[in-house]
Amino acid sequence: MQKSQSVALTATFAALHVVLFLPEGPWRSFVIYLLPIEGIVLGPRIGFSSALLGSVIARLIKPSEWWMFGIVAEPLGVVTAGLLAKQRWKEATAIYGVMLGAYFIHPYGRMLPLWTVLDLLIAFALIFPVSRIGKWVWEERIHRFMLALILVAFVSTVADSMTRVFLLVPAGIYSFFGFSYEFLAYTWFIPGAAASYIEDLLVVVVTFVVGVPLLISLRKALHLTQPMS
């Protein structure tokens, strides 16, 4: 039963990825509002498979020249949520640490304004404390449940952002597209960072309004007391 349930939920969340990607969303896509719930319910292993499958199918249906960002970033956002829900802070810290370290080692990472990555730094600092309360997403006490869910949502959403930053700058995708530093900084990075802060706030609001009742319903319907993987 657990195996068939895992397969069904993997397919369901993958389909939701596709559906949420197709409309024009703010900045990234509406998929970011799904990532925390997907990671908490499915866990890091099954969640990664679901997010990867959904991301690939979505971009096959609606091709984009920026396809590589979402296909890598969305699964890592889901994995981060799953790790935090399982209190596995070491793996989450390693994911963030490698990408954040690579960003600041790169010359452009030291040249770009620090304010553009403040949410990445805050999320990195929150990994350990959020992982300590990650188990609260399974509690009945609503105030603890809501606090844990909102913080997991914030850190996992920023993990998606961190992955995109890593791919763009340290991994060198900016050079693949022929971007100069000036074009990268003033056309892409700085406007994108400002939009990212708005998106962080939107994720918190949507998680509070929609994510809380959704996760409560899924917990009851699936009889979950921990992530599925």
- Hey, where are the domains in the chain? 2-222
Residue type, 190: I
What confidence score (pLDDT) does residue 228 get?
84
Question: What are the tokens at 135?
Answer: 């188990």
Residue 179: Cβ within 10 Å count: 16
Residue 210: closest CA among 146, 157, 135: 146
Can you tell me the distance from the alpha carbon of 168 to that of 80, in angstroms, rounded to the nearest whole number? 20
What is the sign of the dihedral through the CA atoms of 210, 31, 115 and 91? positive
Contacts of 191 (CB under 8 A, 6+ apart): none
**Is there a contact between 46 and 85 (Cβ–Cβ < 8 Å)?**
no
Residue ranges of the chain with per-residue pLDDT less than 50: 1
Question: What are the tokens at 100?
Answer: 């954040």
What confidence score (pLDDT) does residue 29 get?
83
**92-116 pLDDT tens trace:** 999 999 999 999 999 999 999 999 9
What confidence score (pLDDT) does residue 5 get?
80
**Is there a contact between 23 and 59 (Cβ–Cβ < 8 Å)?**
no
What confidence score (pLDDT) does residue 26 get?
66
What confidence score (pLDDT) does residue 23 get?
86
**Is there a contact between 113 and 144 (Cβ–Cβ < 8 Å)?**
no
What confidence score (pLDDT) does residue 223 get?
86
Overall residue count recorded for the chain in this entry: 229
54 Cα distance to chain centroid: 14
- Label residue 152 left, alpha or beta by phi (over 0 means left) and psi (-120 to 50 means alpha): alpha
**Cα-based distances in Å from 72 to 53, 67, 195, 221:** 11, 9, 20, 30
